[in-house]
Structure 1
Amino acid sequence: MADAAGLLGWLEASSLSAAMRGSLWMYPIVEIVHITGFAILVGSVAMFDLRVLGFARALPVQALGRHLLPWALAALALIVPAGLMMFSAHPHDFASNKVFQLKLALIGAAGVNAALFHAGPWRDAGAWNEGVQAPPLARAQALLSLAIWLAVISCGRLLAYT
Structure 2
Amino acid sequence: METLYWLEDSVVGMTVSSTEWGYPIILSLHAVGMAILVGVALMLLVRVLGFAPAIPVTAMAPYGRVVLGGFVLNLASGAALFCGNASELFFNWAFRIKIVLVFAGMALTWRLIRVCIRQTDDVAPTHRRLAGVAAATWVAAIISGRLIGYLS
1:49 is aligned, of 42, 45, 70, to 45
* Contact 1:61–1:125 under 8 Å retained in 2: no
Match of 2:139 in 1: 150
Stretches of structure 2 that go unaligned for 5 or more consecutive residues are none
Matched, 1:79 2:68: no
Using the alignment, how far apart are the partners of 1:141 and 1:110 within structure 2? 10
Q: Does 1:141 align with 2:130?
A: yes
Pick one of 59, 64, 73 that aligns with 1:63.
Answer: 59
Give how far 1:36 is off.
Answer: 0.9
Identity of aligned residues (%): 31
Q: Give the superposition deviation at 1:88.
A: 0.2
State which of 105, 116, 137 in structure 2 corresponds to 1:122.
116
Closer, same or farther: CA 62–142 of 1 in aligned 2, 3 Å: same
Structure 1 residues 59 and 92, CA, compared in 2 at 3 Å: closer, same or farther? Answer: same
Which structure has the bigger radius of gyration?
1
Between the aligned partners of 1:114 and 1:147, the Cα distance in structure 2 is 11
CA distance in 2 between partners of 1:36 and 1:48 (Å): 18
- Give the total of aligned pairs: 151
Q: Relative to total residues, which structure has the larger helix share, 1 or 2? A: 1
1:131 alignment counterpart: none
Q: CA RMSD in A?
A: 1.8
Q: Deviations over 1:51-72 (max 9, x none)?
A: 1011111111111122x11221
Q: Choose from 83, 88, 96 the match for 2:83.
A: 88
Report which stretch shifted further, 74-83 or 6-15. Answer: 6-15
User: When the two structures are superposed, what TM-score results if normalisation uses the length of structure 2?
Assistant: 0.90
Amino acid at match of 1:126: T
Q: Per the alignment, in what secondary structure is the counterpart of residue 155 of structure 1?
A: helix
For residue 149 of structure 2, give the secondary structure of its aligned residue in structure 1. helix
Q: 2:6 is matched with which residue: 10, 13, 16?
A: 10
User: Structure 1 residues 6, 71: CA separation in 2 closer, same or farther (over 3 Å shift)?
Assistant: same
